[in-house]
Structure 1
Amino acid sequence: MKLMKMKEIKAFVRPNKVNEIVQQLKDNGFENMTISLAEGTGKFQDEKAFVSDKFAVTDSPVAKIEIVVYDSFVEKVVCIISKYGKTLNPGDGLIYVSNVDSVHRIKTGLETM
């Protein structure tokens, strides 16, 4: 049995772009993802930024989209996130792509790749 290589894509995007990005991913067959809200720091500081009640060093709200796909789908997912996350302003975000060495089901403990 040939094992297919997988990648994890983490995208840090503007919170107001998440709904459109997620809808486009779903419309293109990418149903399974994790979305979380976070606070970040970086070169860009949002005009509406404030000192967080939880963290003294954050300066911008950010949403993180995490999705794992087969290698052959990475370019498509990255293109969707880039196209629908873009505002052409500083601070639009970043996309990271990493190798996934293995995936295990919690219920069975079995490797699924």
Structure 2
Amino acid sequence: MKEIKAFIKPKRVQKVIEALSEMGFKSMTISQAEGTGAFKAKGAKPSLDFHVTDSPVVKLELVCQNEEAQSAIDIITENGKTPDPGDGIIYLSDVEDAFRIKNGESLKRFGPSHNENE
């Protein structure tokens, strides 16, 4: 399994989520975040919480089967990009296993069509 973490501009998130959902990626986590880096968004301001200059970002996280990862990355890239600099970044990591909280059952044994929210 693979974990994808994508940091996306807030104005592109809805389009990314809709495109992922249309292609069968139904389970994902979305979090509001602040980021700091080489690119400063127009209107970036000092964060009241962290005392750094920040740009608003949305962190999207999803886990999928190995063979689905490139498709998800392509969807995020295509729907998350803008003509402006600083569109974000995508991280891809291996997931050794996942377990249901309800019963401790491993999800490793399920195939690509398995829905982790069941």
Counterpart check, 1:63 vs 2:58: yes
Q: Deviations over 1:64-87 (max 9, x none)?
A: 100000011111100000000001
Instruction: Show structure 1 runs of 4+ deviating over 4 A.
Output: none
The count of residues paired between Structure 1 and Structure 2 equals 108
Q: Report the equivalent of 2:39.
A: 44
Q: Deviations over 1:23-66 (max 9, x none)?
A: 00001111000001100100000111111111101410000100
CA distance in 1, matches of 2:44, 2:51: 12
Q: Report the equivalent of 1:13.
A: 8
What is the CA distance between 1:112 and its match in structure 2? 1.6
Gaps of 5+ in 1: 1-5
CA distance in 2, matches of 1:83, 1:30: 15
When the two structures are superposed, what TM-score results if normalisation uses the length of structure 2?
0.88
When the two structures are superposed, what TM-score results if normalisation uses the length of structure 1?
0.92
Matches within 5 A, 1:1-113: 6-113=1-108
Q: Report the equivalent of 1:3.
A: none
Aligned partner of 2:106: which letter? E
CA distance in 1, matches of 2:22, 2:56: 26
What is the CA distance between 1:10 and its match in structure 2? 0.4
Give the secondary-structure state (helix, strand or coil) at the position aligned to 1:59: strand
CA RMSD of aligned residues (A): 0.8
Taking every aligned residue pair, what percent have the same amino acid on both sides? Answer: 47
